[in-house]
Amino acid sequence: MKTKQLAIAVLFFASAALGHAQQTKPLVSPDVLPDGRVTFRLNAPKADEVVLTGEFLDGPKTFARDADGVWSVTVGPIAPEIYHYNFTIDGVRTIDPSNPQLKTGSTPSTIASVLEIKHPSPAFYDAQPVPHGEIRTHWYPSKSLGTVRRLTVYTPPGYDKNQSARYPVLYLFHGANADENAWYRLGRANLILDNLLAAGAIKPFIVVMPFGYGVTPGGAQADNTAKFSKDLLDDVIPYIDGSYRTISDRTNRAIVGLSMGGGQALNIGLNNVDRFSYVGGFSAAIGNAASFPKTYAKITGNEGQVNSKLKLLWIGCGTEDSLFGASKSFSEWLTAANIKHTFRETGGAHTWMVWRRYLHEVAPLLFK
């Protein structure tokens, strides 16, 4: 508080001395206007060019500078949603320095600012006055990887109170450049499930969100799925079944992921149908058709067993996603191999807007 008071005092005297009283007002950015347009601002008297990029734009927008060196641009109206955006200041892609809401992850390429435009009534991902589950962060020993790693878990409302209840488990994976917090911080997985549970649309289950890298994020990725898979099967699942009141049979275990994590979920799930009954890939990074026979070697010739064991194989992708073709090819390959599955073609690109909706759509299909 004192630091802030000091900062305000310094600003006050500085601007009084310079005769720029308007600089004492804090800059508001993003500024959501009553008509749904949004103004972005940046105080940068020395900059030559400021550009806005964001998931709510068709392309970059250039800011205009006023006489005091404050840059601004107004866009929209923008539909209610949660979006990510960046400022590029003299060629350097960075954040909106006036906005405390940040998207972070395991590599710098993911860093962005967050613009949330609230719906007139609560959205399916908003915190509502319903019973809430918890997010638990564990530091667990991974023998496979020789390190202590973080792991995020969602427990449904009432988990601590109902000491005799046991629960199914969804293993839920993030994408490249993200981390074990992405599904709840960006994906709002906990709030989506709290709301579905309050509406009676799902039964309560635990969600396990591991860190999806077995190798250094952003480095060479060749061994990543193999290493991640070993950590998941040999360390994470036994740790969870030993720490939580799970139902640890295959009919109560689901595996779902997005992008890189979608590829991991499909790879691990379909090659281990003795351990998982529900498998899902959201906008999955799954390579190309030539790789499918090798990657999914355990499926070929075992169609009957796969079909009888899997209660759900769900593949979804947005048509504006550069990975759409891969998902479509994979669905066609599965169809040719007589593997039952759902291929869900939706609008949307490679964004959390799509993945929040997919979780909302798939969660009610689990553990039926």
Residues that bind a copy of itself (CB under 8 A): 1-4, 6-7, 26, 42-49, 89-95, 97-100, 102, 104-111, 127-129, 132, 134-141, 148, 160, 163, 175-177, 184, 190-191, 194, 217-218, 221, 243-244, 259-260, 263, 285, 322-323, 326, 350
Question: Quick one: 8 or 297, whose CB is closer to a copy of itself?
Answer: 8
Query: Which 8-state DSSP code applies to residue 341?
Result: -
Measured from the CB atom, is 278 or 324 closer to a copy of itself? Answer: 324
3-state helix, strand, coil in the chain (%, to 5): 30, 25, 45
CB of 245 to a copy of itself, least distance (A): 9
Residue with tokens 């009676």: 200
Least separation, in Å, of the C-beta of 69 and a copy of itself? 8
Q: Which helix (H) or strand (E) holds 280?
A: strand 278-282
Q: Which is nearer to a copy of itself, 216 or 308 (CB)?
A: 216
Complex with a copy of itself: residue 2 or 294, whichever CB lies closer: 2
Which residues on neighbouring strands pair with residue 258, listed in sequence order? 282
Provide the minimum distance between the beta carbon of 175 and a copy of itself in the complex, in angstroms, as a whole number. 8
Sign of CA dihedral 122, 119, 126, 361: positive
Shortest spacing between CB 327 and a copy of itself, in angstroms: 11
Q: Which is nearer to a copy of itself, 216 or 251 (CB)?
A: 216
What six digits make up the tokens of 23?
């600089």
Query: Which of these, 130, 132, 124, lies nearest to 155 by C-alpha position?
Result: 132
CA 279, CA 256: separation in Å to the nearest integer? 6
Q: With respect to a copy of itself, which residue has the nearer C-beta, 322 or 335?
A: 322
CA distance 339 to 314: 11
Rounded to the nearest whole angstrom, what is the least distance from the CB of residue 200 to a copy of itself in the complex? 20
Contacts 24+ apart (CB under 8 A), 121-129: 123/80, 124/192, 124/195, 124/196, 124/356, 124/360, 125/82, 125/188, 125/191, 125/192, 125/195, 125/356, 125/360, 126/191, 126/195, 127/191, 128/191, 128/194, 128/195, 128/198
Q: Would the CA dihedral through 175, 178, 183, 188 be positive or negative?
A: negative
What's the residue count for the chain? 368
Nearest distance, CB of residue 184 and a copy of itself, angstroms? 8
Q: Burial level of 18, CB count in 10 A (0-12/13-18/19+)?
A: exposed
Least distance from a copy of itself to the Cβ atom of residue 224, Å = 8
Closer residue to a copy of itself, CB minimum distance, 310 or 359: 359
Q: Is 198 helix (H, G, I), strand (E, B) or coil?
A: helix
Q: By C-beta, is 284 or 363 nearer to a copy of itself?
A: 284
- CB of residue 304 vs a copy of itself: minimum separation in angstroms? 32
